[in-house]
Amino acid sequence: MAALRVWQRNATVYKRTWKLNILPNFFEPFLYLLGMGLGLGAYITEMEGLPYINFIAPGLLISSIMWGATLETTYNVFVKMNFDRIYDGILSTPVNPKDLALGELLWGATRGTIYGGAFLSILFIFGMGLHWGILLIFPLIFIIGFMFATIGLLFTSMIKEIELFNYFFTLFLTPLFLFSGIFFPMNQLPQAVQIIAWFTPLYHGVELSRGIFNQVWSLELLEHLAWIIAVTLLNTIVVLRAIHKRLYN
């Protein structure tokens, strides 16, 4: 319950500026689809039997959730924790550090969902994913958002300097973005790379999303989902402890 209060606080702040905030979320997919789908798609007409734009769209959707959720639980949380002293105010109320962390995770997942939702609406406009199976994408968007919120917050709980986020984004998220099967199928890559990819979070989301969009139902999708849920749960436990340790000392 206390976690919900923290979520509500963020929602109250967001409500003031959401109109300004949300607009880029619609332009981004639009630009990606135009530039990569139509531009690059003029040369690469087909990938794994799909028009190129249809091949990349489901993965790009998942990556937009990743960016949205992690931005929230990295920079925004760091500023609230270390510069604005907002957490000092919150923690002297019945809200405890673990409630605070859970609230931020829920909010990060919400921001990821807003990013993903905006992206999805553009895909619908482009005529993609217009079938009943697409309903499964909605819970997936939230779960992926939550997973990346835990990953961002875990990094935030470990660092003392805001500059270190550059490493997180450049050396972790950007490689994920490029090598998780969004732009080309992973089975073209050497076995070693594929094994590494299996241990990274974005890859499983991309595979699930593509399966749902193109209605390729297989047991592998369940394996990806199991991976995501297991990592999210484990990470949640670890990150709640880490934030507790950081803020209660």
Partner 1 sequence: MEKPAAIITAKNLTKEYGTLKAVNDVNFDIQPGTCFGFLGPNGAGKTTVMRMIYCVTPLTSGLLTVNSENVMENMSAVKRGIGVVTQDDSLDYDLNVINNLLVYARYYDLTREQAVRRANELIEFFQLEEKRDKNVRTLSGGMKRRLQIARALINKPSILILDEPSTGLDPQARHHVWAKCHELIEQGVTLLLTTHYMDEAEQLCDRIAVMDQGKIIKEASPWDLIKSEVSPYVVEIRGEEQARQKILTAVSDQIDFHEELSDRLLLYTPDATPLHAHIQDMNIPVKTLLSRRSSLEDVFLKLTGRELID
The one-character DSSP state at 33 is I
Measured CA to CA, the distance from residue 66 to residue 142 in angstroms comes to 11
Binding residues for partner 1 (CB under 8 A): 1-2, 5, 8-9, 12-13, 84-86, 88-96, 247-249
Residue 67: name the closest of 16, 118, 8 by CA: 118
CB of 75 to partner 1, least distance (A): 14
Measured CA to CA, the distance from residue 115 to residue 172 in angstroms comes to 20
**Closer residue to partner 1, CB minimum distance, 5 or 231:** 5
Give φ, ψ of 51 to 5 degrees. -55, 140
**Closer residue to partner 1, CB minimum distance, 14 or 184:** 14
**Closer residue to partner 1, CB minimum distance, 1 or 42:** 1
Q: How many residues can be counted in the chain?
A: 249
Measured CA to CA, the distance from residue 40 to residue 91 in angstroms comes to 50
Q: Are the C-beta atoms of 207 and 63 separated by less than 8 Å? A: no
**Closer residue to partner 1, CB minimum distance, 6 or 143:** 6
**Closer residue to partner 1, CB minimum distance, 19 or 135:** 19
CB of 146 to partner 1, least distance (A): 22
Measured CA to CA, the distance from residue 172 to residue 160 in angstroms comes to 18
CB of 95 to partner 1, least distance (A): 5
CB of 158 to partner 1, least distance (A): 20
Per DSSP, the chain holds a count of helices (H) and strands (E) of 11, 2
Residue 81: name the closest of 65, 103, 112 by CA: 103
CB of 12 to partner 1, least distance (A): 6
Contacting residues for 234 by C-beta, under 8 A, at least 6 apart: none
CB of 156 to partner 1, least distance (A): 18
**Closer residue to partner 1, CB minimum distance, 92 or 187:** 92
